[in-house]
Chain A
Amino acid sequence: MIVRKFKDSTDICKMVKPYKKVAIIGCGGCYGEGGKPGVLKIEKLIKETGIEVVASGVTGRQCAWKDRASKKQLKDDDAIITLARTSERIKEADVLVSLACGVGVQSLTYFAGKKAVIPGFDTFFMGLPEGEVFKEQCIGCGNCILHLTGGICPIAKCPKSIMNGPCGGVLDNSCEVYPENNCIWIDIYNRLKDIGELENMKIINNPKDFSIRVHPRSIR
């Protein structure tokens, strides 16, 4: 899932201040606060500033395009249909507040016409919830080595993205950079041992090809 977090209330108020009529569009994708409770929270916040909220609702996944070039969306997640269903009054809005990740916000941008689009969230990473926190799992490096590392990614989970084993900064199994985390290479070692694949740790992993990671990336 894409992990995102509400922007600060005062920042959201500041962003909507120049507009008169606001529509709030939640996102039903990736688990998080982009659904109905989040929409209601932001609606209340914006109404308190005296700005009119003309429409609010939750789409499917805001990012779910079948083909953005021809403006085809996946049927179940058709944001336009959902929006129209949410409220006819959405047409009156001069700004759309998107409660989605950065991808969802930009997805909305493509059919917002002359309406401005505002992000309600800051978008962080691809991750999973662990206890009270969300933790990054994948950086989308484009060259997966999870089969060699016991299904645990050192690129995303080691602050130095070391590909060949732990660094000298391990204190009581913990990472020196984020002491609340285990050294991921110790986790990888234990996992490889458990599944009888410790030999994989002995493979010298060559440097990553960063040429395939130049923004903005596109793949066929």
Chain B
Amino acid sequence: MIFSKLMRSLKENKFTISGEIDPPKGADRTTIIEQAEYLKGHVIASNVTDNPLGIVIMNTLVPCFIMQNEVEIEAVYQVTCRDRNRIAIQSDILGAAALGLKNVLALTGDHPRMGDHPESKAVFDLDSVQLTKLLRIMIDEGTDMAGNKLKVAPKMHVGVGLSPGMRPLETELIKFEKKIRAGAEFSQTQVIYDSNILGELRDETKDCGIPILVGIAPLKSLGMAKFMAKHVPGVVIPDDIMQRLEKSTNLKETTIDITSELLRNIKEVGFSGAHIMPVGMDYAVGEIISRAGLK
């Protein structure tokens, strides 16, 4: 059974592009609409992040609902295990399904020590593999985790994360395979800039049985590129990209070019799709896609 546009596109073997928006730090709905409007017509669905790094921003469900209903972009509801135990997660899933959300991305989540409230108590009642399994129980069995019948089961597709830059890669592949066995239906990856990592991921996952949307994010500046290469786990930025950013006289154009080339490459290598994290360059998403010739 297919519930979402995202899943239908993937099942039809169309090259599928998802986007991402960040909930605002503040009780403000305008930035939600603004970010989503930039993505409209360019992506088939968009993730809404769940307090990345454990930084306090608006509850994920709200932008999911606003984006889906007012901008008409299907949401991928990111759910992490950082702040909620199994009771809270299940109750949020029921609420999300009642709001019409059709895709959920099951993540373990960053530790609160990484964010702006490092003193807070980390929950991690479940991990991403266990969360995936729980979602399958709710969707397929129509019960909660304790086996109690749900009056109406949620109808959602379950996605999972994948970190292609993880070393040794086998540790990540073992975990990814567990996520698939637990019932994952699609995957979105951490950003990949390096064609070797992209090729390696293709080789290692070609028989995995679920579609993979490879993560990309425009490198807004040389500073950002250097920061990501140094501090973001698993991210490798090849020298030629660094040099192009360094020599650029029009950074915005260069960034759009680089990102669209990465996007084209993802398709050529044979992945099911791409997941664009605009990190502040929402306005450029349409241009990135059309320059990649994927419009």
Residues of A within 8 A of B (CB): 159-171, 173, 176-177, 185-186, 189, 201-202, 204-207, 210
Contact = CB atoms under 8 A, between A and B. Distances in A.
Given A165-B175, A168-B233, A171-B231, A210 B166 contact: no
B168 interface: yes
Q: Size band of the B side of the interface?
A: 35 or more
Contacts of B178: 164-165, 202, 204
B175 A204 contact: no
8 contacts: A160-B81, A160-B108, A163-B130, A166-B171, A169-B114, A189-B168, A202-B174, A205-B130
A207 B172 contact: no
B110 A166 contact: no
Contacts of A177: 111, 113-114
A206 B130 contact: yes
A176 B114 contact: yes
Given A162-B124, A162-B127, A173-B167, A204 B181 contact: yes
A124 B48 CA distance: 38
Interface in B118-176: 122, 124-130, 133-134, 145, 161, 163, 166-168, 170-172, 174-175
B281 interface: no
Interface in B10-48: none
Interface string B71-115: 000000000011000100000000000000000000011110110
Contact of B171 (A159, A163, A189, A206): A189
Q: SS class of chain A's interface: helix, strand, loop or mixed?
A: loop
A204 B111 contact: no
A160 B111 CA distance: 7
B177 A202 contact: yes
A38 to B, nearest CB: 30
A165 B129 contact: yes
Nearest to A165: B175
Given A160-B82, A170-B166, A176-B111, 10 more contacts: A159-B111, A163-B127, A165-B129, A168-B163, A168-B234, A169-B114, A186-B168, A189-B174, A202-B177, A207-B134
A176 B181 CA distance: 27
B241 interface: no
Contacts of A185: 171
B190 to A, nearest CB: 6
A159 B111 CA distance: 8
B125 A169 contact: no
B234 A170 contact: yes
A210 B190 CA distance: 32
Nearest to B111: A177
Nearest to B107: A168
A167 B163 CA distance: 8
A171 B190 CA distance: 14
Contacts of B166: 166, 168, 170
B233 A162 contact: no
A194 B6 CA distance: 42
Considering the complex of A and B, which 6 residue pairs feature the smallest CB-CB distances, nearest first? A165-B175, A164-B129, A168-B163, A162-B127, A171-B233, A160-B124
B172 A165 contact: yes
A159 B108 CA distance: 12
B182 interface: yes
A101 B128 CA distance: 36
A170 B129 contact: no
A202 B129 CA distance: 11
A172 B230 CA distance: 10
Contacts of A170: 163, 166-167, 233-234
Nearest to A202: B174
A161 B233 contact: no
A60 B53 CA distance: 46
A69 B125 CA distance: 35
A165 B171 contact: yes
Contacts of B110: 169
Contacts of A210: 125
A163 to B, nearest CB: 6
A111 B130 CA distance: 46
A159 B175 contact: no
A170 to B, nearest CB: 5
B127 A186 contact: no
A210 B145 CA distance: 14
Contacts of B175: 164-166
Given A160-B108, A168-B161, A204-B178, A186 B125 contact: no
